Amino acid sequence: MLLGTDPEFVFIGNEGLVSADIYYPRQNNGRHDNPEIGGDGHPKTVEIRTSPKSSPKEVVGEIKRIFTAHKDDIPREYAWRAGSFCAGKSLGGHIHFGDIRVEDGIITALDGIIGQVVTLLEDTQEAKQRRATEYGKRGDIRVKPWGFEYRTPASWIVSPEISLGVLALAKACVQEELAQDAMCIRYLTGNRLQAVANIDRHSFMSVDKSYFLEKLPVLWDVISRYRYFFTEEGRPLWRNVALLKHIALNYPSWHTEKDLLHRWKVVRRTPSAYLEHFKDKKEKLPPEGILNAEAVVNMLAGQNNDRR
């Protein structure tokens, strides 16, 4: 199985949303020769396109490489922002799965694991706005010649630590289904099956986090038993998955106010235009440690007992 992604983001300037097609023409031609960064379906959004990789860590490395290579394409006064919905634009965090065929069990598992966990991370109002458009719906799959694309999640590239957690969880989930291991949909019963496969539509569309938090302990029991996290590749990534739970339990959202390049440590800046645009946002910000997520990732690194 190969992994890839084409997450979307926008640029923010003094007057708000900047037209991305000034710098990146819309070039998505549906083939494999698209540039690694460019426009797609809307003139004001841009996406990065990673090449297929075998591991989540490689994909995250590719995202940072693309950010670094193109950091000077855009005037420095513009900030880069991901998340669910920004300045009237829906932002997607599409995940590509190559060399496999999509099946109903895989779609159900992705909705039950990635769909619910990412919902707990999103800014509630932004997530509602995205779901009110044609995007963000459960089971949003596109079959491709090389595999399939899961399109439900918001743009999770808000930080490298969160990105690694989401991609690791996605690979673990799909591998469990492909191998028909103990935590695949076919073998789940009782509370575990209800937690993963039974998602109330109204709660999902209204982003009722209390509903998802109530399900989280049983959901985490399933996630913690995924075979991938007991492999040489997956074991070190468990701390990033644990970070997702930590944010869900302790913070209102994954906090998209920080400039993307700042959080990816590509350019250390927070432009005044960006701060001005969001000056009226009242939500309490967490300490710098959680914004960078490094402190929490390191704290969770040895907490294997969190998995049970």
pLDDT for position 284: 44
- pLDDT at 105 (0 to 100): 96
Radius of gyration of the chain (CA): 18
Mean pLDDT, the chain, integer: 88
Q: How far is CA 180 from CA 27, 161, 184, in A?
A: 38, 28, 6
Instruction: Name the fold adopted by 2-307.
Output: Creatine Kinase; Chain A, domain 2 (3.30.590)
- Say what the pLDDT of residue 283 is: 45
| Interval 206-249: pLDDT, tens | 999 999 999 999 999 999 999 999 999 999 999 999 999 999 99
Structure tokens belonging to residue 24:
């990146």
How far apart CA 285 and CA 252 sit, in angstroms, is 9
Helices (H), the chain: 56-70, 104-110, 116-121, 124-131, 160-179, 190-197, 201-205, 209-223, 238-250, 260-263, 272-277, 288-292, 294-300
Q: Where are the domains of the chain?
A: 2-307
Task: Sort strands 16-18 and 79-81 into parallel, antiparallel or unpaired.
Answer: unpaired
Residue 299, pLDDT score: 59
Average pLDDT, stretch 183-208?
97
**Whole-number pLDDT of residue 155:** 98
